[in-house]
Amino acid sequence: MNDSEGATPQLELRGITKAYPGCLANDHIDLKIMPGEIHALLGENGAGKSTLVKIIYGVLEADEGEIFWAGNSVTIPNPHSARKIGIGMVFQHFSLFEAMTVTENIALGMSGRQDMKALERDIIEISNSYGLPLEPNRQVYTLSVGEKQRIEIVRCLLQNPKLLIMDEPTSVLTPQEADKMFETLRRLSHEGVSILYISHKLDEIKALCHKATILRGGKYISECDPTKETAKSLAEMMIGTDLHAPEHHEKPDSGPVRLKVSNLSINADAEFGVDLNAINFEVRSGEIFGIAGVAGNGQIELLSALSGETTCSDAEAITLDGEHIGRLGPNPRRDLGLAFVPEDRLGHGSVPEMMLTENAFLSGYSRMALLNSGFINNGSTAEYAKEIVGKFDVRTPGIYHTASSLSGGNLQKFIVGREVLQKPDVIIIAHPTWGVDAGAAAFIHQTLIDLAEAGAAIVVISQDLDELFAISNRIAVIAEGRLSVARNLNEISVEEIGVLMGGTHETAEKAEALNAI
């Protein structure tokens, strides 16, 4: 943290430039990180942050520019050599192998040979000491997003890095988990480890980081001390214009009940899935209903029960505008006005190898009337895709590019836009703004609020409590497959939600007792 002239930076970049066909992703970027410094890298989606960190980690090679490591000029041709000199990275799109166990995944991310049994012990030790619980023998595809991220973090920590690059590490953590991770990061910083921290959560950056470098459109904009800025001023530096908080009108829940879930119990069919246990809630027209919870507590199962990917044995378990839909599959539910945005945007929310037009067609063909006596109406499909791209500011070279070519935040905007434009009566969204920059997040929030005001009922499943508090009218917490009693926003504090997330089951009686206190 000592920024005096004499000290040698752990990492210094000078004039890093990287061009892709048609766009200059990094344009002569300078960056300096001192030993033990927590340095934030700020910028909108597409500002060039990911490209820059990939260059540091050796995944990409810069066209121009120099890298200095502890004062010496180095080249980092591949990730192996990055790890060798002491650079670790936690990826935003996880670099995990779904069909393999936690231990195997970690072994793959470490250079050199290692003994699996010893590695298993090390994993348990590190994950305990840093508060990142992991079961070494679980298969990755059975884990939630939050758990997958822990694997990435533990994988880095096992290699005693001198520089840790973290690409949006807290986006899937609960406040308690995030606080715990900040402790971890501060501890590492005290131990002399430099941290390059990418996040969209500006409060977090203010609380944690010593320095911040701001990028916009691939260019270096400025370096500042985030503790001396406000979240608003940081955000405005990032996007280069003024920012508006979502307008929220207090809405009495007077509308009719649109979505009703009663006594929904489903036994998980996946090996490590979570059983849903007697879930009850209702969402009224005009209401945004938030579901908080730690990853892997039944969110995935609840979403697939609501979307119809898992059907219920009891048709009356889920009611949409008075109609029992428990036994219907996803398409009939869509026809009745239900829309959903799953947690995993690449592979579940979209088909990665298909074009944006095709992805738009797949979910919208029925409600947007894109079929022409059984054939795809290419004209109106393209118009629909263009409307999504235009209205939701999806940055893409064109609608005939594949979903996988979009950055995470842009794809999220596309998927949310695709569902919202279908004018659903009820929409269920998991992590609506995960990995989306501040400007786009505000826009998505405003869209959801507008949709609710137009009469839709909205269910938001998220781990980001700030987000839930910003847009929901009522909040419930899911823990171990049970849903707590829903509370109005003004009746519950972040701390109480944190306690509920920990798995203290709240039955109706307990809720009363808690209220009485």
Partner 1 sequence: MSGFDWLVPVFLTVITAATPLVFAALGELVTEKSGVLNLGVEGMMLVGAVSGFITVLATGNYFLAVGAAALAGAIMAFLFGILTLSLMANQVATGLALTLFGVGLSALMGQDFVGEPVAALTKLNIAGLSDIPFIGPILFGQDALVYFSFIMVAVVSWFLYKTKAGLVLRAVGDSHNAAHSIGYPVIAIRYMAVMFGGAMSGIGGAYLSLAYTPMWAENMTAGRGWIALALIVFATWKPGLVLVGAYMFGGITILQLHAQAAGLNVPSQVLSMLPYLATIIVLVLISKDESRIRKHAPACIGKIFHPAA
**Which residues make up the interface to partner 1 (CB under 8 A)?**
20, 51, 54, 58-60, 78-80, 82-83, 91, 94-100, 104, 107-109, 113-114, 139, 141, 270-271
Nearest to 428 by CA among 500, 330, 356: 330
Query: Residue 41 or residue 461: which is nearer to partner 1 going by CB?
Result: 41
Compute CA distances 255 → 287, 319, 452, 455, whole Å: 8, 16, 11, 8
> Shortest Cβ distance from residue 79 to partner 1 (Å)?
3
> Shortest Cβ distance from residue 358 to partner 1 (Å)?
17
Query: Residue 141 or residue 182: which is nearer to partner 1 going by CB?
Result: 141
Query: Residue 68 or residue 94: which is nearer to partner 1 going by CB?
Result: 94
Question: How long is the chain?
Answer: 517
Compute CA distances 32 → 13, 82, 188, whole Å: 6, 17, 18
> Shortest Cβ distance from residue 195 to partner 1 (Å)?
20
> Shortest Cβ distance from residue 81 to partner 1 (Å)?
8
Give the integer Cα–Cα distance in Å for 27 and 374. Answer: 49
Give the integer Cα–Cα distance in Å for 238 and 436. Answer: 13
> Shortest Cβ distance from residue 434 to partner 1 (Å)?
19
Compute CA distances 448 → 196, 269, 357, 428, whole Å: 33, 32, 23, 11
Q: Which tokens hold the place of 117?
A: 């049994």
> Shortest Cβ distance from residue 75 to partner 1 (Å)?
14
Query: Residue 108 or residue 494: which is nearer to partner 1 going by CB?
Result: 108
Give the integer Cα–Cα distance in Å for 327 and 513. Answer: 36
DSSP conformation class of 139:
B
Q: 245, 442 in Cβ contact below 8 A?
A: yes
Residues 6+ apart with CB under 8 A from 495: none
> Shortest Cβ distance from residue 3 to partner 1 (Å)?
32
Q: 440, 239 in Cβ contact below 8 A?
A: no
Query: Residue 23 or residue 508: which is nearer to partner 1 going by CB?
Result: 23
Q: Which tokens hold the place of 172?
A: 């899937």
Query: Residue 100 or residue 239: which is nearer to partner 1 going by CB?
Result: 100
Query: Residue 51 or residue 462: which is nearer to partner 1 going by CB?
Result: 51
> Shortest Cβ distance from residue 109 to partner 1 (Å)?
5
Residues 6+ apart with CB under 8 A from 434: 171, 172, 408, 412, 464
Query: Residue 91 or residue 361: which is nearer to partner 1 going by CB?
Result: 91
> Per-residue DSSP letters for 150-173?
HHHHHHHHTT--SEEEEESTTTTS
Strand pairing class (474-479; 288-292) = parallel
